[in-house]
Structure 1
Amino acid sequence: MLKIGEVARRTGVSVRALRYYEEQGLLTPDRTPSGQRRYPEETVEVVLLFQRFYAAGLSSRAIAALLPCVNKGHPSTPQRHMLRTERDRLAARVEEMADTLHRLDQLITDADRRAGAAA
């Protein structure tokens, strides 16, 4: 079992963020008789997954709704729908970013050509 500070250190997430995850129902640590939080080892991977979900634009509410999929791997019909919806939203963002990257590459190539021609 890990203390909250150890989970924070290993995930790069603040203790405050871990407490927020607990408030949102995303994490449920065990408590010692003195009230200290203790987390199972797999909490590290779960928190890292939360961070990826947040970075991808999912809300705490969406993550909480999908949490049973992470824990049990047997999503309900609404959860499967949400998974597909989030996947489609992310795929659209990836396409937009790839297009932006291509346009930036074109601008760099054009700028390099102009700089070479001027030299």
Structure 2
Amino acid sequence: MRIGELAKATGVSTRALRYYEEQGLLLSERRTNGYREYDEQAIRQVAFIQDLYRAGLPSEVIREVIPCAGSKQPTGDCAALVARARQVRDQLAQQEQQLAERRRMLERYLSGAAVPTGLATSPSQDC
């Protein structure tokens, strides 16, 4: 299938597909007329790439994960890649905790349960 057909089948722009190819995430064959030709597996590949991006993995990690996720015999150090994916997951969990703490702090200030450090203890005034 050509790039426009792949874009339509996956809901991903042709620009993004070209980027995936530049990053070594997606392979295509070139026809004699220069058009890209993708096999049917490309649809699943693009969906997988999209999932990994949404999960917060950068292109360089995705490029290394792809050989470990295919139906063929995995190549590369897949255990190290799983460890890297876990590291990204843990970083996301830490960011979630930080955001939750920030939200709780704002809720305390907005409810009047907390007063900014260093301000006079006089009754609060509306802004």
Interval containing the TM-score (normalised by the shorter chain): 0.5 to 0.7
Matching of residue 29 in structure 1 with residue 3 in structure 2:
no
Secondary structure in structure 2 of the residue aligned to 1:50: helix
For the pair shown, the structure with the greater C-alpha radius of gyration is 2
Q: Distance in 2 between matches of 1:39 and 1:69?
A: 20
Give structure 1 stretches of 5+ with no counterpart: 105-119
For the residue of structure 1 that corresponds to 2:77, the secondary structure is helix
C-alpha RMSD over aligned residues: 3.1
Quickly say closer, same or farther: Cα 1:21–1:77, change in 2 above 3 A: closer
1:57 paired residue number: 57
Q: Which residue of 2 aligns with 1:48?
A: 47
Instruction: Count residues in correspondence.
Output: 114
Following the alignment from structure 1 to structure 2, what is the Cα–Cα distance between the partners of residues 29 and 77? 21
List gaps (5 residues or longer) in structure 2: 104-127
Q: Which has the higher helix share?
A: 1
Identical amino acids, percent of aligned pairs:
34
Aligned amino acid, residue 83 of structure 1: V
> Which shifted more, 50-59 or 69-78?
69-78
Cα deviation 1:53-112 (Å, max 9, x = unaligned): 0113333x11111121123554457331221231353256358759x78xx8xxxxxxxx
